[in-house]
């Protein structure tokens, strides 16, 4: 009985550590490599504009980290993941409410750019969706997945146009695991 309590305690402590440090652990184990930039969309839908405005009400002079967190929150609230074929245009996704990783990335980047512009940071920061690959401990995981659905994965790079600073976000992973930032491998971006 004593050994069962001890094992249970160890398991509980390990689970708590994994939960608390999931972002750091994920960033150490998983890297993203950009392959090609995806089409960028401008927020035009009045429904999407209203959604962003409602969520950013009373929030002024946000810094880039706050903008990213707000855009991730809006994306997570508005979209549900589906493996089915779907729109990529966020102006349509706000109605369909379902997306795969391509839609998540385009929705997030458009929302993020809207908030960046609203906060008058568009001369400094920009968010762009990318088709990419995921590496686990340096190994491309897509080589081991047979489904065409898993041949790549989309994420977003937020770049400082002046300093070249790069922040990377995977809105799909954020929706499920609440991991805000991801690690990207240095690569030539097309």
**Residue 124 within any structural domain of the chain:** yes
Closest CA to 154 of 128, 190, 189, 116: 128
CATH code assigned at 16: 3.10.620
What does the pLDDT look like over 47-86, one tens digit per residue?
999 999 999 988 888 999 999 999 999 999 999 998 888 8
**Residue 32 within any structural domain of the chain:** yes
Average pLDDT over residues 131-136: 92
**Residue 24 within any structural domain of the chain:** yes
Residue 149: per-residue pLDDT: 58
User: Do the strands 125-136 and 98-99 form a parallel or antiparallel pair, or are they unpaired?
Assistant: unpaired
Helices in the chain by DSSP H: which ranges?
2-20, 22-29, 46-55, 64-78, 90-96, 101-118, 171-177
How far, in Å, CA of 158 to CA of 167, rounded? 5
Counting Cα atoms < 13 Å in the Cβ hemisphere of 169 gives: 32
| 190 and 36 Cβ atoms separated by less than 8 Å | yes
Domain boundaries, position 44: 2-184
**Residue 10 within any structural domain of the chain:** yes
Q: Cβ of 87: how many Cβ atoms within 10 Å?
A: 18
**Residue 189 within any structural domain of the chain:** no
**36 vs 143, which has greater pLDDT?**
36
**Residue 116 within any structural domain of the chain:** yes
Q: Can you give the pTM of this predicted structure?
A: 0.86
| 177 and 26 Cβ atoms separated by less than 8 Å | yes
Residue 134 three-state SS? strand
Q: Cα 13 vs. chain centroid, distance in angstroms?
A: 28
Please, what is the average pLDDT of the chain?
A: 90
**Residue 190 within any structural domain of the chain:** no
Going by the DSSP 8-state scheme, the letter that residue 39 receives in this structure is: P
**Residue 161 within any structural domain of the chain:** yes
Residue 148: per-residue pLDDT: 62
Residue 31: per-residue pLDDT: 92
**Total number of domains constituting the chain:** 1
- Torsion sign across C-alpha atoms 179, 181, 186, 190: positive
């Amino acid at each position: 009985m004593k050994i069962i309590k001890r094992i249970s305690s160890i398991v509980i402590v390990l689970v708590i550590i994994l939960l608390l440090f999931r972002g750091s652990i994920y960033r150490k184990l998983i890297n993203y490599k950009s392959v090609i930039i995806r089409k960028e969309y401008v927020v035009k839908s009045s429904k999407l504009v209203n959604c962003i405005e409602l969520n950013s009400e009373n929030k002024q002079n946000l810094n880039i980290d706050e903008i990213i967190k707000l855009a991730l929150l809006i994306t997570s609230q508005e979209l549900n993941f589906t493996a089915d074929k779907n729109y990529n245009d966020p102006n349509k996704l706000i109605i369909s409410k379902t997306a795969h990783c391509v839609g998540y990335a385009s929705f997030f980047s458009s929302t993020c750019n809207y908030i960046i512009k609203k906060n008058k940071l568009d001369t400094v920061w920009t968010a762009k969706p990318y088709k990419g690959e995921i590496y686990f401990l340096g190994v491309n995981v897509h080589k081991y997945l047979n489904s065409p659905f898993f041949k790549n994965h989309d994420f977003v790079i937020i770049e400082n146009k002046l300093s070249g600073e790069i922040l990377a976000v995977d809105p799909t992973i954020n929706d499920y695991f609440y991991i805000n930032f991801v690690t990207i491998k240095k690569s030539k971006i097309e």
